[in-house]
Chain A
Amino acid sequence: MTNKVWVYIDQFKGAPNPASWEALGLAKTIADLMNSGVTAVVLGSGMDAVVQKAFANGADSVMVCDDATLTDYRVEPYAAVFTKMVSEGKPEIVFGATSTRGRDIFSASAADLNTGVIVDATEVVSQDGALVATRPVYAGKLLSKVVCKERRPQMILLRPRAFPAPVETVGKSGEVIKVAAVLDENSIVTKVAEYIVEEGQVSVDSAAVIVSGGRGVNGPEGFEPISKLAAVLGGAVGASRAAVDAGWIPYVHQVGQTGKVVSPDLYIAVGISGAVQHQAGMRTAKVIVAINKDAEAPIFNLAKYGVVGDLFQIVPALTEEFKKRLGK
């Protein structure tokens, strides 16, 4: 049996996107109000572990399409089966995590299903029979409240780390509904040749801790002390646009309006002045620490803790300090 509230579980090569569990947590809260359960949707190949994890995170049933054509993410086969599932199962609400794949699949299927998509929601409340979502617009300078009033399902992608993740209950299970793929390999025009992945790096997208460098690091070698601090804290390395444009670090690390929008628990801005465009990418971080030699830098208006000084002395000292404290 499928429920009125669904959650799409985003995964890459079998590793679930942790923000999917946050979506599952919210789905449970909303479903409770409707006296409904939650159905998780899992698409991929070799998905048994992901299905188990969906149950552990609170799914009441899991609808899965486990098929070789879904081994690599491609929008055509993913959206085709997703559209079919939704049009037949007729959920009221479908949640997911905002990600490159989430945006692709939800918007493609919403076009197929003639409904709307709300993306990057940071708050969701039930009001007059519809869900009202709050989402940042204009690079986070403004907030908007949006609603998909009449068309169904309501498809809402949540901003990662904006909602709490549920506590896992290992060993929980429920009904598994198997669905066949819609497209066969011959009818899928996109073929994946390879992946180019930076090994061993924590991605800024879902990192709980980010240490970012800006113009003040003075060159590519300036990212060495930053990477060391990030490694000790188990965090990701971020960068400002100035550092990326100077060619000191690849674009994938850029935080800000023309980079990634992140909301870690801890954001350490090193040698970053904090232009509004950078703030757009990190202002929702829980605790912001700024290390900068310029006491007038705008980043200090946003930071909770600040150090005015030479980053090349402070950052290595901080790395040593955390090594001691964290026993590394």
Chain B
Amino acid sequence: MKYLDEYRDSDKAKLLVDAIHKKVTKKWSIMEICGGQTHSIVKYGIDDLISQNINLIHGPGCPVCVTPIEKIDKAIEIASKANVIFCSFGDMLRVPGSNTDLLKLKAVGSDVRIVYSPVDAVQIAKQNPDKEVVFFAVGFETTAPPNAQAVFIAHQQGVMNFSVLVSHVLVPPAIKAILDSKNNLVQGFLAAGHVCTVMGYKEYEEIVSKYKIPIVVTGFEPVDILQGILMCVSQLEEGRHEAENQYSRVVTREGNAKAMEVMYEVFEICERKWRGIGEIKESGFRLKEKYSDYDAELKFGVVNYSVEESGECISGLILQGIKKPVDCPVFGTKCNPEHPFGATMVSTEGACSAYYLYKEKKL
């Protein structure tokens, strides 16, 4: 399959592994931002293939993982209401709130539906005028434009029984928060290719020059990731710090202007809580005042919630690269994909879940 097979080619991968080995002279810690990259790294055993001198730190770029537990509780409260059809991307349904999850809610009779596009949820609203249709608008910059588009279309067409529960997060503020942390170990980043498909990588140029750290926009297949690592290591070894683009078959410096246009039409930047990390300034999106009629939190009055995370979970430390999943005392025992304790075990793209799935029995 074009654009996949050549990026899963073991011969090309071996050449890159050799090139990385030749380049590396000392220990480096590199963070891959995106959960999709973490998943590929563990699935294809990339961390086992490359030099021991490279410490891959698994970043916070899994939207399912970092959605705060109180937001899940809000989703559950809304979805429990009798006249609500609650729509979501599939992998959010399994994420546990304080007491239950959306899949279990569906099992006891709530109308919870998987949609593949947020615009489909608007369609469901039009087909069910006597119901309230709510879409769980989760994700990074990648899903923000289609989610914004759904609100935009509903507004244009006057579909008033549609609303969104917004929990959008943004990558650059998270990178800055990691770099500002006194515990930071990260010396270079592999930026998330699909986020940059929308946003471009212009905004990373300011970060590389301020923090003097290399950022390489990287794809998701094994060859992409190895090439990203090679580019990042080359910068580190040569003392450079630039925003480079490995994923040039998809990403441009300027990004997708049309996608950004609808995104900024509907959303504005706000403070956002990240599960496992906490509040990060200017790290999320909320609906603009003009679209407040589509805000499910206001519509259903589920504004103030505060929930304590499990004390045994160390996902915050894992998301900053200070600990690995295997360092956690409850990893693979009390905490597993069926009973996740925290952020990094809840989605297959979370670091703990990926370790459990592909490495657990080897331990």
Indicate, yes or no, whether A interacts with B.
Answer: no
Hey, which bits of chain A sit against chain B, CB under 8 A? Answer: none
Residues of B within 8 A of A (CB): none
